[in-house]
Structure 1
């Protein structure tokens, strides 16, 4: 036992690369926070009373879970973009500790106080955006400067969330702005990795059905989407906003269709990227319809096509693929990973099903929460060891 201890410790790799602590922390928090939210809704627990169930739920899944996955991805991708060494060791530990401190502070707001909790929570994204800016500027990576700028806006919107909640009790503008930022990041980054990974896999299969390269159509589709999201943030109940969102749904759907996703059905690790991105146009359509006809499609339900669908499914797709790739595993989906995908998709379908089965909303909410929790618990169990430890050398 004693002689094996140095070898075991030498394989501990949690803070050797950004994806490791943040993907593991994000997945653990996604499962734990869902359990906490259900307990809060059912009255079994009481916490963060200044936030309330809806605002706490929104903040912790958008800024808690969502920000952690963004951090894990960018801390891993930026060294490839810039050619600089990755953030690791004590600096990475300090950054992860800031993220974790934010989760604890918000959870115990009733004890530490609202202003103190909001301040602690804001430090992570401010510090992380500063690191990203430094790395991209030092690496003279002008192409990805827009990602750094979006991240700064993300940090500022997090602060705005707390301010709006403090002043008006409901951070509705901040929730729409945050959701829009995550949707834009998926359209930008997903718009690179989905066709790229698809092309690589199809080329190995010697398929002639390769994704269409990025061109003017993609730029126009992105421009229309950003414009419609801006209208939605400022004027969520206008007919023009609904029309713009539906137009964006058509444009993003056409964009996705150009990436040859139908030809990837034999490899779930690739197919899930297309499924995750499909919730982008679905979200534009659902939110657009809810803007025009809220009685038929409640806005709060439509929003989950983006938050649970696009964010939840796409982030799990990226976390599983990145973990397998960077830990030396084959880039293919074993049955256990495919089960993770099916569970998170089931969670989204159950949540959106309340549109057509409003009388069963409570039951569907509980089932959706159970499927979501199961998906992320499965990720922690299956991928946690890959994130914690480097592979044994053979």
Structure 2
């Protein structure tokens, strides 16, 4: 009995530590020191950094093979995630011509490296894909993106739009790749508020949400970020929707969609009143988002994509990072009643002893570890943080709800396409 009581107290203490982020500042300092050390080592000995990271990845692959009973490369990211930011920032510093030791004063080495690459990748992309952007409103009778009054509901709408446009679910909407949604909410005082929903990379040949656009969005330089087709498409759709400069706007995006949202908040700040940005799996640590804009970032520790900025997100009152960790869930067990009427409660398929230890990821069991960059993992992480009663999550949730507080009046969808057509106007880079 005493042992069980002590275990319950220890479990409760851990939940309180998580809910209130009691050691977050110390953890961030340790993480920064570790990453800066790895960055310096990578700059000095890049070949050994690659060999070391490769060895850890190979070990993770073999361990995952033993655990899953089949080869699964996802385990390589799981094994290397503690080293990803430091090694990436080291190579970013080399590409961005940051001198050894100079990077200790900043965290944007990857972004400088991306800026260097984008000087070449942008024109090359234009050569094959074209640089003429066409944005047009598309219509559907299907209710893909529904009314929202919370971050969780908006994340679910983001998932629905992302999967519908790629054919992963069928809502009979007819919406295709390269599509975002813009909703107008009417407040009680008669003014408008807006919510922009931005899915991630689709990789289609004529889509503004291709692979190269990620590099431009990650650039340390505003001029290059503004040339990214996905950011240009979102900005043009917002213009066509009629969003005024003084009307409150919230943006939510997954992966590249979140980077585009951060770019809009950073580089279109003088044109729009961006009050809240929600990102899922987006590497935006070094985007110069104004202090007036609240940022809620949801990341999974081993998803790799969120680590591509080479740094932890800033620890500020207006910027909250919800970090998730994936653990295998046990199989659920049913409740049973024996002949004497004694009931044995069943269990749900979550890791832990209480409903607050973890949140179940939606969907069927996968039979092995899968990529944690899928949006359903970010949804589960945010749900668990909300269930814990985190004061920081509650503050951000309240702010987001305040921004879009009102009655949904319209949901409009905008589709972007790239071409080589020569024309003048906003469509050119």
The TM-score with structure 1 as length reference comes to: 0.34
Q: Larger % of strand: which? A: 2
Query: Structure 1 or 2: larger helix share?
Result: 1
Query: Rg: which structure is higher?
Result: 2
The higher relative CO (CA closer than 8 Å, separation ≥ 6) is in 2
